[in-house]
Chains A and B, each alone.
Chain A
Amino acid sequence: MRVRAITLRILQQFIHDKRTMALMFIAPLLVLSLMSLVFNGDAYEPKIGVSGGAVPFTRALEAQNATVIAYKSADLGTAALQESELDALITLNGTTPEVMLEGSNPTANRAVMLALTAATRNLQSAGGEGQVQPQISYLYGAEDMKTIDRFGPIMIGVFVFFFVFLIAGVSFLRERTTGTLERLLSTPLKRWEIVLGYVCGFGIFTVFQALLISWFSIQVLGIMMAGSFGYVLLLTLLLSMSALTLGTLLSAYAANELQMIQFIPLIIVPQIFLSGLFPMDTLPLWLQRVGLATPIYYGSEALMNIMIRGKGWSAIALDVYALIGFSLLFMLLNVLALRKHRKM
């Protein structure tokens, strides 16, 4: 009998909390759809540049579903490779093809090598030429680059974002539910002062968090690190700021800690899928566009540029500005959201 009473009470609680109910049904669908889009995406088709133009070779590569772009000179091709427009550049000098892989994405590397092996085998059996061994080199990364090297920078971004989002969100929520927010608002404190206070307080905390996570990933986990540690810190810090301000903002729409946690599958998980963890090219265009509106996308793109490709300021400037923009926007919205509690 007691069990029945408890069962009934729980059902009633669910019925009263429409949000939780909606989340139970809709969120799994959302996450599952994203996963199916990501994993059932068409097989990765490598983009290969060819300079020194040998028509049969180009044809053979295209037969392997690779996108082949011809370059007049090796320099033009190298430039495209450096901008990560290509996955590999093949230069034909005499009979030995020189292959330079972009190298930062193990999936792309594998796809290029597969297409290349198949293409040369088909050429040989058709033309009966002697054994041709392509010479392989890597622009970024290395042959022994592990998947974790690729995922590492993204995961740093994701973890920083995830924890700061949750902790900041819950502590701001607590402020509201325990009445201390109302107490704060009964003092001459201005609304923007509360928001800024949170940003500074958590800012100090996140400096240490960023330091620890970056140091641990690079020194302890041995994740590939080609660029500057200072930039890695800057990026993790900016990502924390956007997570903090988004967390406190969304906590205004949560009635308790559980509802705060419900934001994870809605706000965090989709960002992870759109962060570049998986090749974005295989996603529908509209979904790629959604990725452009998420902080983790900019954070992980910049972190990959720093850690794998060893690039400097000019490559990450746009991402830095984007993250600062997100943080400022969320802060402003926070100040406006506090109007709900005190108009002045």
Chain B
Amino acid sequence: MNQGHPVIAVTHVRRAFGTKEVLKDISLQVEQAETFGILGPSGSGKTTLVKLLTGIDEVTSGQVEVLGAQMPKLSMLQQIGYMAQSDALYTELSAKENLEFFASLYGLRGGNRTRRIADVMEVVNLQEHLRKRVDQYSGGMKRRLSLAIALLHEPPLLILDEPTVGIDPVLRKSIWKELRTLNGNGTTIVLTTHVMDEAEKCDRLAMIRDGQLLAVDTPADLLRNTGAASMEEAFLYYGGARR
């Protein structure tokens, strides 16, 4: 990756479903090897924005560039690890079968595939449940398996839609540690969340409400600029200031 170039560049993006404008003139940039959080209440347009970044969906107007390529572009999908908001798993299959299936879609084979599966299951602490059918998994376990699948092919860009919902605090902490390690290896991470205190762990944060970008900055600066004591207060400040 060429130094200085943003990994993701979103310029004046609008997305409308019919007459309903879900994203309104969003512009932001994500730098390499940072964890970029998108914070907003439910229905604010986080998932819609994230789908534009992965190229599953297309902008109504504006432009999305990922790793220097204009999205949507099929070949870029190999560079992205995506974890959807809903656990898109084949529940009648075992975890191992799910992992093998998705690994094959990303072109992993043989010993490499087996190794990667073991690695990612360790990251999410599910190695003992590899052979269990997914319909016997709890909600949190399914969430972790989805994350494991997104990590499989070691993508330079991870896009995670509400990754820690339903995961207990201890495991959440260990997953954040793992995300930090990935950052250290040069992986860029974009994640969405509606949990305010979790947002503070991100390097930089975008606040979004009703499809409008309220602010983009580091959590510390967001707090300092608003004089708020908590992220929640800062969010309310920006939300109120726009009215």
Contacts and interface: CB of A to CB of B under 8 A. Distances in A.
A187 B54 contact: no
Contacts of A146: none
22 contacts: A178-B91, A179-B84, A179-B86, A180-B89, A180-B90, A182-B84, A183-B84, A183-B88, A186-B77, A186-B84, A187-B106, A188-B77, A188-B78, A188-B107, A189-B105, A190-B74, A341-B56, A342-B56, A342-B72, A343-B58, A343-B72, A344-B55
A26 interface: no
B80 interface: yes
Nearest to A189: B105
Given A182-B56, A186-B80, A344 B73 contact: yes
Interface string A176-207: 00111011111111100000000000000000
B106 A188 contact: yes
Contacts of B90: 180
B73 A184 contact: no
Interface in A319-343: 341-343
Contacts of B72: 342-344
Interface size, B (range): 20 to 34
A278 B105 CA distance: 48
Interface string A251-270: 00000000000000000000
Nearest to A193: B105
Interface string B187-215: 00000000000000000000000000000
B77 A187 contact: yes
Contacts of B91: 178
Contacts of A186: 54-56, 77, 80, 82, 84
B95 to A, nearest CB: 15
B238 interface: no
Given A178-B88, A179-B87, A180-B88, 16 more contacts: A178-B86, A178-B91, A180-B89, A182-B84, A183-B88, A186-B77, A186-B82, A188-B74, A188-B75, A188-B106, A188-B107, A341-B56, A342-B56, A343-B58, A343-B72, A344-B73
Interface of A: 178-180, 182-190, 341-344
A183 B84 CA distance: 7
Q: Name, among B75, B77, B91, the residue most crowded by chain A CB atoms within 10 Å (CB to CB).
A: B77
Contact of B74 (A180, A182, A183, A344): A344
A185 B105 CA distance: 10
Contacts of A343: 58, 72
B137 interface: no
Interface of B: 54-56, 58, 72-75, 77-78, 80, 82, 84, 86-91, 102, 105-107
Contacts of A178: 86, 88, 91
Contacts of A187: 77, 102, 105-106
A188 B105 contact: yes
A178 B146 CA distance: 13
A241 B196 CA distance: 52
Contacts of A342: 55-56, 72
A197 to B, nearest CB: 10
A190 B102 CA distance: 14
A18 to B, nearest CB: 18
A193 to B, nearest CB: 9
Contacts of A344: 55, 72-74
Nearest to A184: B105
Contacts of A185: 56
Q: Name, among B54, B56, B90, B91, the residue most crowded by chain A CB atoms within 10 Å (CB to CB).
A: B56
Nearest to B74: A344
Contacts of B74: 188, 190, 344
A183 B91 CA distance: 14
A131 B74 CA distance: 84
